Each structure stands twice: as structure tokens, then as C-alpha cells.
Chains A and B, each alone.
Chain A
Amino acid sequence: MTDTQAPQAAFRLQQLSLLRDSGSVLLHVDEAEFPANQFVCITGPSGAGKSSLLFALAGLNQKLTGSIQFQGHHLDALSTAQLADLRRSSLGIVLQHFQLFDELSAFDNAAMQAMWGARISRHAIRQHVDELLLRLRIDDTQKLCAKLSGGERQRVAVARALASRADTLLADEPTASLDTQTAKQLTALLVDNTVGVGGTLIACTHDQDMIEQADAVWTLSDGSLHKLR
């Protein structure tokens, strides 16, 4: 499963084809590499396959051929349980539309993924989550998510991804539906808590401000992935 050479990239894609339900090719990537410890943006028009690519990177997209390596692990060689374990321990995900549990408090949502990891004590997780939520300006951590504003919900989703202390964070349109100022703050927070601490941030986005801050930018067009810079 692990290459003999030390992985130089967070992700390495080779002859990757993402397939539609019908079996036709949605996106093909001959070869691509997303370096570790960098902020990588993937952009492109709606429907081009940004989210599909992000899901594939997270080991959630089964309709594909070719190879994806994450930190030297061939994802296609891992079982469902091993992939879940990898996401729990090494991959934080900020999902589009937040996908929070409305009936739970901001704290319970943010702490959920970290609690499964159990690499550190629950007390330490609680402290870490409280600090994160405070930094993300969620004052009432016991407030039900159903009662939070759109911006607050997005920040809780980010807190959930960061709380797991994963070294790589995948974000699907993290600043969508946020005002410019809040989007900038959120981008800074994501970058500070990933690349800023030696991790990797890969975001699918249309947000130009976010794209400008990225170390590397890739775009999807005509069913292919191209590096812009």
C-alpha cells in the first residue's frame, strides 16, 4: 500500500477517470500532484466535477478508474473501513451546505468527528473544540445548530473539520454564501489552521479572494484538470 519512496505530495493522481452514473467519463486526469503543506485551490464552472474530484480525494467516490495516492496510500487498495479510518485520522472535510446536525449543539457538532478519533483524551478534545469555537466567534457553544445563522453554521462546519486535528483539510465551497468580509476571515482561519501549522488545504471554490491566496490553483475544464499556477 505504501510506496518505498517517501511521499512528497499530499495527493498524487495518475490516469484518474471519474465516471458518471451512466458510465461516461466526467473528468480525466493524466497526472496531477497536490503538494503537502500548501494551499491548493480547484476551480472551474459548475458541474465540471469539482465536488466529484474532492469526494474522490476523500475516498468517497467509488465510480472511478486510475489511481489516487494520499500520503503514499493507494486509496483504491483500502477497504471501506480503512478509508473511514483515514478520513477520521488524517482528512478533515468541510462539506458543501455544511451538513450539520441541526438538533445538536454547536459544540456537539464540532466535537463529533474528533470524538471518534480518540487519539487524545476527551477532556483535551473538549478544550480544543471550545477554543476553536471561540476563535471562530461562536459565543454560545451550546446553542442548537438549527438556531444559528448561515455564517455561524459554516464556521461550526469548519470547526468540526479542524477539531479532528487532521493534517489535510478538504473544503467544498467553504465560503459560498458568505459576505466578502466573513469569507476573507474564514479563508484566513482555514489557512492558519492547516498550512499555518504544517498541514495541507485543498478547496474547491469560485471565490476569487480565496483563489488569490492559494499556493497552487488548478482548474477543471472540458473534462480535464489543468494547473493554472
Chain B
Amino acid sequence: MIVDWWLQLSVLAQDSLLLACLLLLPVLVLLSIQWRYPLHPVVIGLLRRHQQAVIAMLALISVATAITLVFALQERALKTGSARVSDKFDLIIAAPGSQVDVLLAAVYLQPSALPMLKADTLSRLSSHPDVRFAAPVASGDQINGTPLIGTTSRLVSHLLNVPEQQWFESMDQVLAGSNTPFDTGDTFKPQHGFSTGDSVEHHSKLDVIRRLPSTGTRWDHALIVPVEALWKMHGISTHDARVPIVVVAAKTTGALYGLRQEFNNNDTMAFFPAEVLSRLYSVLGSIADVVTALTLATQLLVVLSVLLSVFILMRSMATRFATLHALGAPPLFRFCLIWAFTAVLIVTGIVLGVLLGGAGAVALAQWFSTQTPIPVKLQVGLSDFVAIVLFLDITLIMACLPAWSVSRQRHDHGLHS
């Protein structure tokens, strides 16, 4: 009955309840200890007395927690970020070759020397009854490192999620992505090739006519020109023009599968970007799993070493425990004292680690977004906090070990000797 009730709850409700229970458990234990024995002056005193060791242990726990958190958040953000970027590219068609190379070139605008499609491919696709639109993607030039991408107004509208409109009135007009250093009114001569070093300038002069709002894709880092402008700059007539990549949007989802089948032949290769990403994730995923396991194991080792340090610290305080024993301190008091001391260390360390890890993850996400083709956006859910608090509870249970070990020792001779 309870299982049925639990399964009927939403994921959010389940996570909220779990979080509340997991938080309530240590809070209730600490409150009941404090109610039974007013421990706080002794615990604060111990923390003050061993402040150097305490700082070292806090640093260990917080850094280990931060590293685990940064890795977990970043790995997920990279996956969702890379998937989100490819969302707007339903089907990609290119000459047979590496799907990964084509994906990187079309979606992430990574420089790549790709073979060209046959000249009639674009027109065949454009006139196909199942195709909503087919947009070429051509690159090969840049201006001071910002790639110059040739395509159509249709794809620009699609990326911006706005009704179809004409973005270019002439072939010397350029749209600047939201993350480029260019603004309306800027003019430049594009440089040939991908390298910024010894590249040759084209004769054509281009004008930035508009700075686009963000599309949430790598295209925000590019300058967009009509594909015809690129052909003209390279001296290719429209009649002979060939493109390496065509982005296709179908009229229906079913049609997409038909198109993929139809255009997977000796001349063309058709694939869904999500499919390639999924294959990549499955390969990288196992590596990520290993790294996740390693970071968790490291954190566990850190917690164990902290528990061992607490054990050694408490052993060095034999006279104090002998004094407590002589004064009639109940064994439970000694247990609670050591447990509470360890609990304060662990809770503070993990809270600091979460703050540090959060800040680190945000900084790293910003760095990734500017330095890599993937706009990384961190997502933190309630389930993340459930995992953190669950880990906290497990370590608090482990904190019973030094407490139990020290509190059961005999201290009869500690003072007399």
C-alpha cells in the first residue's frame, strides 16, 4: 500500500519527501543529543583547541566534495548542452564519410575539410515533397577567428525560432551571431581558410547589417552570410555550386525516417544528429562512469581519512576522556561528544564543498561556453540535493565508528598514570 502510494507521487514530490526525511534524520539526532546533554560548549571547545587539524580536515572534505560536484554537474551540463545545440538540426545530409566530422562541422561549426555533395543534391532535396526546407551549410572562411558560415534565410529563421523571413537583401550583407565581437555597421573583408595566421583576405567587403538574438547554438559564435556570397567570394558560379552539408527539416516525423533511408546511398549520407550524439555518449558514458566512480571513491577515502584523523585526535586526548570518565560522564556522553564533533566537521566540510563546487561549476561552465563549441548551462535539481544529503547521512553513520571505538575504551588509568 505504501509502495503504491509512493509510486503515485510525482518525481518532485518523491524527491522533496526524500530530502525532508534525509535532512530530518541528522537534525533530530543532533537535537535529541543536545536535549540530553548540552554538548555544544565542549564541541566548540574541541574545534577551537584543534583548529589547525580542523581546518585541514575541512579543506580535505570540502575540496573532495567540490571536485565530485563539479564533475557531476559539468558532465551532465555538457551532455544536455551538446544535445540542446543539435535539437534544431533534424536531419543532416552530407557526402559519405564520418558522421561525427559532419556533425561537428554542421552543428558545432568546427573547421573540417569535408567532401562535397553532388551538385544536384540540394535541388533534389529542396523539391522533395516531404521536405519542409533544405538549407546548405558551407564554411571555409573566417574573420579574426570568427567563422563565416554560408546558408539561407530559412535556416536562420529556423534557428531563431521565428516566422520565415528574408534576412539578406544583397550578397554583401552579414548577420552577426549574439556571441561574436561584431555589431551592426561593422565592415570587414573575410580571410580565406580556417587559420588566422597567414590567411589571404578576400576582395569582397561585407557589412554587418544586424546582430542576431541568441539561438542557444554554436551559431551564436558565427557570422552568417548568404551561401551565394561564399560561392561568389570563391569564384564559383551558382550553377556549379556544390555544398558539403545540407540541413533538412521534414514535414512530418515519419517523413524524416523516409528521407534518412532515401538519402543513405552511395552518393549521400543521411543521419540524425541525436543518433550520433547518443552513440558518442554511450562510448564516453562508460569513461564518465569510471571517472564518477573514481571521484566518489576519492571522496569516500577522504571521509575515511578524516574519520581516522578524528580517531587519532581523540586517542591523543586520553587524559581528557579519563577526566570525563572520572567525573562520571556516561559512555553515551563520550560517544555523542565524538560523534557530534565529527558530524560538525563533516556537515561543515560538505556545505563548504557544495558552495565551492557550485561556484567552480558555474565558472567552468562559463569557460566551456566561451572556449568550446558547446554552450554549457548548469542544471541543478532536487535530486542532486537528495544525493548530497544521502551521502551526508551515510558519512554521519560512518562517524559512529570512531565514536564507538573511543567511547568503549577503558579510561580507568588515564589520569593516574
Which of B318-358 touch A at CB < 8 Å?
A: 319-320, 323, 325-331, 333
Known contacts A99-B323, A104-B41, A116-B333; A84/B412 CB under 8 A:
no
Question: Size of chain B's interface in residues, with CB distance under 8 A?
Answer: 24
Q: Does A89 contact B (CB under 8 A)?
A: yes
Q: What 0/1 readout, one digit per residue, does chain B (290-329) give for beta carbons within 8 Å of chain A?
A: 0000000000000000000000000000011001011111
Known contacts A104-B41, A104-B45, A116-B37; A87/B326 CB under 8 A:
yes
How many A-B pairs fall under 8 Å by CB?
A: 78
Residue contact A108 to B42, C-beta cutoff 8 Å:
yes
B341 to chain A, nearest CB (A): 12
In the complex, A77 Cα to B333 Cα: how many Å?
23
Which of A111-135 touch B at CB < 8 Å?
A: 112-113, 115-116, 122
In the complex, A112 Cα to B334 Cα: how many Å?
13
Complex interface: chain B residues within 8 A of A108 (CB): 41-42, 45
Complex interface: chain B residues within 8 A of A156 (CB): none
Residue contact A99 to B331, C-beta cutoff 8 Å:
no
Q: What 0/1 readout, one digit per residue, does chain B (389-417) give for beta carbons within 8 Å of chain A?
A: 00000000000000000000010110110
Residue contact B330 to A103, C-beta cutoff 8 Å:
no
Binds B, one of A55-63, A175-183, A193-201: A55-63
Residue contact A115 to B37, C-beta cutoff 8 Å:
yes
In the complex, A61 Cα to B416 Cα: how many Å?
9
Complex interface: chain B residues within 8 A of A93 (CB): 326-327
Question: Size of chain A's interface in residues, with CB distance under 8 A?
Answer: 32
Residue contact A103 to B46, C-beta cutoff 8 Å:
yes
Complex interface: chain B residues within 8 A of A85 (CB): 328, 330
Main secondary structure of the interface of B (DSSP, over half): helix
Q: Does B181 contact A (CB under 8 A)?
A: no
Q: Does A209 contact B (CB under 8 A)?
A: no
Known contacts A52-B416, A103-B49; A81/B331 CB under 8 A:
yes
A135 to chain B, nearest CB (A): 21
Q: Does B124 contact A (CB under 8 A)?
A: no
Residue contact B326 to A115, C-beta cutoff 8 Å:
no
Complex interface: chain A residues within 8 A of B38 (CB): 115, 122
Interface centre among B329, B333, B416 (most CB of A within 10 A): B416
Give the nearest-CB partner of B48 in chain A.
A103
Residue contact B320 to A101, C-beta cutoff 8 Å:
yes
Give the nearest-CB partner of B416 in chain A.
A55
Residue contact B416 to A60, C-beta cutoff 8 Å:
yes
Q: Does A40 contact B (CB under 8 A)?
A: no
Interface centre among A86, A93, A113, A116 (most CB of B within 10 A): A116
Which of B201-241 touch A at CB < 8 Å?
A: none
Partner of B328, one of A86, A101, A104: A86
B15 to chain A, nearest CB (A): 39
Interface centre among A52, A80, A85 (most CB of B within 10 A): A80
Residue contact A61 to B412, C-beta cutoff 8 Å:
yes
In the complex, A87 Cα to B324 Cα: how many Å?
11
Residue contact A87 to B45, C-beta cutoff 8 Å:
no
Give the nearest-CB partner of B39 in chain A.
A115
Q: Does A160 contact B (CB under 8 A)?
A: yes
A58 to chain B, nearest CB (A): 7
In the complex, A105 Cα to B327 Cα: how many Å?
17
Residue contact A113 to B45, C-beta cutoff 8 Å:
no
In the complex, A51 Cα to B45 Cα: how many Å?
29
Give the nearest-CB partner of B331 in chain A.
A81
Complex interface: chain A residues within 8 A of B325 (CB): 60, 84
Interface centre among B319, B320, B326, B412 (most CB of A within 10 A): B326
Residue contact B328 to A99, C-beta cutoff 8 Å:
no
Q: Does A91 contact B (CB under 8 A)?
A: yes
Give the nearest-CB partner of B330 in chain A.
A84
Q: A55-B416, A60-B326, A84-B331 are in contact. List 19 more A-B contacts (CB 8 A).
A: A55-B415, A60-B416, A62-B413, A81-B330, A84-B330, A86-B328, A93-B326, A99-B326, A99-B415, A101-B42, A101-B45, A101-B323, A105-B41, A108-B41, A113-B329, A116-B37, A116-B330, A122-B38, A164-B328
Instruction: Give 14 A-B contacts (CB < 8 Å), ordered by A residue.
Output: A60-B415, A87-B327, A89-B328, A99-B319, A99-B323, A101-B323, A102-B49, A112-B42, A112-B327, A115-B37, A116-B327, A116-B329, A116-B330, A160-B327
Binding site for A on B (CB under 8 A): 37-38, 41-42, 45-46, 48-49, 319-320, 323, 325-331, 333, 410, 412-413, 415-416
